[in-house]
């Protein structure tokens, strides 16, 4: 007995240490790592700032339920919650990233509770090892240090699943409904995941209720479903602009389908209706996209195409997980004696997770698959816990390999990444704005070359430009081909493409890379580690 208590005490200390490491990894150097912000981050921060100051977003809309931003219609909850750290710490990188880091830290705790619930009273070791994986996984740290709404939605998703496991998926109560609603209001993928899941769950619940004749409970749960559906429906309408990235609204895919359907209809109209209708056509694309996600390269190799979502040379999941995940699956389905409902609905939720990405033209998309990363890491944790109980030496070796991968990631992210920043993150733009702010009073105009890179939002963010003045004075371009809307002019700041000097005015020009438009060079913003790499050239004609 004394030996058992000593072992429990050691594991408890280890759990506390892991929680401390998790806190450090998510908050240490948060303002400077990563060294540049993707354009959604200053948009989130500035809109939160605008709400604080004026009760309106950057478009002047009062208390919106969907933030138009660049025309991409951001979900509201993340921005409203970000207003709290912006109020406490001011408008800066730390306050804008605070909510994502906090969510990443809280995910560690809820992971422990979920794993402990599934494994039962004897699952303390497995829960600690799963927490270990979540604490040091590259995807979990990466997504906790950018302002990604998906990380907060992931926290809500895990909480909702944990609460469901508390009643073995037998009922939907007001608190679970609230958490699901918060997830839907945080990130668009939840608009896909939860309606599908709840549809299957409610079909099961209706059949069970009629068998047991618990009609009052049926009415109560139906009310919760209706409330969630209303939130989903309302948010779906407000975020309808996001449909442009789905396969169903892609212009080229629509043209290809219409051409194929016309050709087949000319051959045989009934064959065309039966086998070449839009449901089968787009269903096939959706199914192909679904299985495309499960590739070695995406999870354990290059990590997809989007430069915001990865670090060069670092996979989303550590390669050692490819061994642990099958062991975790075997343990979950064969060895664990858990409630049948929990096993069925946890499996169903896992299978639904890829659909939000599979529906889009840029599939596989890491941010839309964040819950899937968690699911795989969770299964790897179950596998590592089983090895610890059965083959402790092998489990220790696996832990050492994971620590090696973690240290490699830490070096790449905290030290090397600042020298490998993708151009989409506009590295150097903060320094540009600092220089321009010192020089602006000498000029009639400040011209940023390239209107569609979101430079205006960095200007608003880093200068704390008064939201009321911006709302009153901004001039915007018409929507572009992707239906995004960019700023043309704010006060003396202009955002244009291929601007040419105009000597009728005193002008400052901000151009990407090395440029020589004539006139006086004010500054070049360079990569401090590679002086030959010029991010921006700042010139003046006076």
Q: Where are the domains of the chain?
A: 2-30+100-283+312-419, 423-540
Top pLDDT among 529 and 150 is at 150
Tell me if 359 sits within 8 A of 215, measured CB to CB: no
- CA-to-CA distance for 169 and 456, rounded, in angstroms? 48
For the cut 60, the answer to whether the pLDDT of residue 4 exceeds it is no
For the cut 90, the answer to whether the pLDDT of residue 339 exceeds it is no
Nearest to 536 by CA among 526, 39, 251: 526
For the cut 70, the answer to whether the pLDDT of residue 6 exceeds it is no
443: left (phi over 0), alpha (psi -120 to 50) or beta: beta
Q: What percent of the chain has pLDDT over 90?
A: 64
490: left (phi over 0), alpha (psi -120 to 50) or beta: beta
Contacts of residue 427, defined as CB under 8 A and 6 or more positions apart, other chains included, come to 35, 36, 421, 527, 535
pLDDT for 11 equals: 77
For the cut 80, the answer to whether the pLDDT of residue 403 exceeds it is yes
Q: For residues 340-358, give the mean pLDDT.
A: 94
CA 501 to mean position of chain CA atoms: 40
Tell me if 315 sits within 8 A of 408, measured CB to CB: no
- CA-to-CA distance for 214 and 315, rounded, in angstroms? 49
pLDDT tens per residue across span 49-80 = 999 999 999 999 999 999 999 999 999 999 99
For the cut 90, the answer to whether the pLDDT of residue 533 exceeds it is no
Q: For residues 396-408, give the mean pLDDT.
A: 97
For the cut 70, the answer to whether the pLDDT of residue 538 exceeds it is yes
- Residue 114 CA: distances (Å) to CA of 119, 158, 164, 186, 236: 9, 8, 10, 22, 29
pLDDT for 131 equals: 97
Q: For residues 142-152, give the mean pLDDT.
A: 97
- CA-to-CA distance for 280 and 286, rounded, in angstroms? 10
- Of 16-20, 208-212, 331-335, 512-516, the one with minimum mean pLDDT is 208-212
- Residue 183 CA: distances (Å) to CA of 61, 146, 365, 442, 453: 23, 18, 19, 48, 29
pLDDT for 78 equals: 97
Tokens of 57: 């977003």
- pLDDT bracket for residue 512 (50, 70, 90): confident
pLDDT for 284 equals: 94
- CA-to-CA distance for 456 and 89, rounded, in angstroms? 23
- Residue 199 CA: distances (Å) to CA of 65, 193, 345, 351: 25, 10, 12, 14
Q: For residues 255-280, give the mean pLDDT.
A: 89
- pLDDT bracket for residue 214 (50, 70, 90): low
414 DSSP assignment: I
Q: 534 forms bridges with which residues in the sheet?
A: 526
For the cut 60, the answer to whether the pLDDT of residue 354 exceeds it is yes
- Residue 350 CA: distances (Å) to CA of 59, 202, 341, 385: 38, 17, 14, 20
Tokens of 316: 């989303």
Q: For residues 85-114, give the mean pLDDT.
A: 98
- pLDDT bracket for residue 219 (50, 70, 90): low
Mean of the per-residue pLDDT values of the chain? 89
pTM score > 0.75 for this model? Answer: yes
Tokens of 477: 């371009």
- pLDDT bracket for residue 519 (50, 70, 90): confident
CA 274 to mean position of chain CA atoms: 39
Nearest to 152 by CA among 199, 177, 127, 189: 189
Q: Is the peptide bond before 331 cis (omega within 30 degrees of 0)?
A: no
For the cut 60, the answer to whether the pLDDT of residue 236 exceeds it is no
For the cut 70, the answer to whether the pLDDT of residue 278 exceeds it is yes
pLDDT for 287 equals: 95
For the cut 60, the answer to whether the pLDDT of residue 238 exceeds it is no
């Amino acid at each position: 007995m004394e030996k058992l208590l000593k072992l429990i005490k050691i594991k408890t200390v280890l759990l506390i240490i892991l929680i401390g490491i998790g806190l450090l990894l998510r908050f240490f150097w948060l303002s400077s790592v990563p060294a540049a912000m993707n354009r959604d981050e200053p948009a989130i921060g500035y809109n939160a700032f605008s709400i604080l100051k004026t009760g309106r977003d950057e478009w002047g809309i009062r208390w919106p339920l969907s933030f138009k931003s660049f025309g991409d219609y951001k979900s509201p909850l993340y921005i409203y919650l970000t207003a709290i750290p912006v109020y406490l710490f001011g408008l800066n990188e730390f306050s804008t990233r605070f909510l994502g880091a906090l969510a990443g830290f809280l995910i560690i705790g809820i992971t422990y509770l979920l794993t402990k619930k599934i494994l039962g009273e004897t699952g303390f070791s497995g829960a600690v090892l799963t927490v270990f994986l979540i604490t040091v996984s590259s995807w979990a740290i990466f997504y906790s240090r950018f302002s990604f709404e998906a990380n907060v939605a992931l926290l809500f998703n895990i909480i909702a699943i944990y609460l469901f496991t508390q009643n073995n998926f037998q009922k939907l109560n007001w608190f679970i409904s609230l958490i699901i609603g918060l997830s839907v209001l945080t990130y668009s993928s939840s608009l896909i995941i939860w309606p599908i899941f709840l549809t299957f769950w409610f079909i099961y619940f209706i059949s069970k209720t009629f068998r047991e004749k618990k009609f009052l409970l049926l009415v109560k749960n139906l009310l919760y479903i209706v409330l969630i559906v209303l939130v989903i429906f309302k948010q779906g309408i407000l975020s309808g602009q996001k449909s442009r990235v789905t396969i169903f609204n892609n212009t080229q895919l629509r043209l290809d389908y219409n051409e194929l359907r016309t050709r087949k209809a000319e051959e045989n109209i009934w064959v065309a209706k039966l086998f070449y209708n839009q449901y089968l056509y787009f269903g096939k694309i959706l199914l192909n996209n679904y299985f495309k996600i499960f590739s070695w390269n995406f999870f354990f190799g290059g990590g997809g195409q989007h430069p915001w979502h990865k670090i060069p040379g670092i996979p989303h999941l550590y390669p050692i997980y490819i061994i642990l995940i099958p062991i975790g699956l075997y343990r979950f389905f064969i060895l664990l004696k858990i409630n049948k409902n929990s096993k069925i609905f946890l499996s169903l939720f896992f299978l639904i997770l890829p659909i939000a990405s599979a529906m889009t033209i840029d599939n596989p998309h890491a941010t839309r698959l964040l819950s899937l990363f968690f699911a795989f890491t969770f299964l790897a944790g179950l596998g590592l816990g089983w090895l610890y109980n059965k083959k402790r030496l092998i489990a220790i070796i696996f832990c050492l390999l994971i620590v090696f991968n973690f240290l490699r990631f830490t070096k790449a992210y905290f030290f090397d990444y600042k020298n490998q920043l993708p151009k989409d993150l506009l590295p150097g733009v903060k320094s540009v704005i600092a220089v321009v702010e010192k020089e602006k009073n000498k000029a009639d105009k400040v011209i940023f070359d390239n209107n569609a890179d979101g430079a205006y939002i960095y200007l608003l963010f880093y200068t704390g430009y008064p939201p009321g003045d911006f709302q009153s004075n901004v001039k915007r371009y018409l929507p572009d081909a992707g239906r995004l809307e960019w700023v043309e002019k704010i006060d003396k700041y202009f955002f244009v493409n291929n601007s040419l000097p105009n000597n009728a005015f005193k002008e400052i020009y901000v151009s990407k890379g090395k440029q020589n438009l004539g006139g006086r060079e004010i500054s070049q913003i360079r990569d401090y580690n590679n002086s030959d790499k010029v991010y921006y050239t700042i010139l003046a004609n006076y």
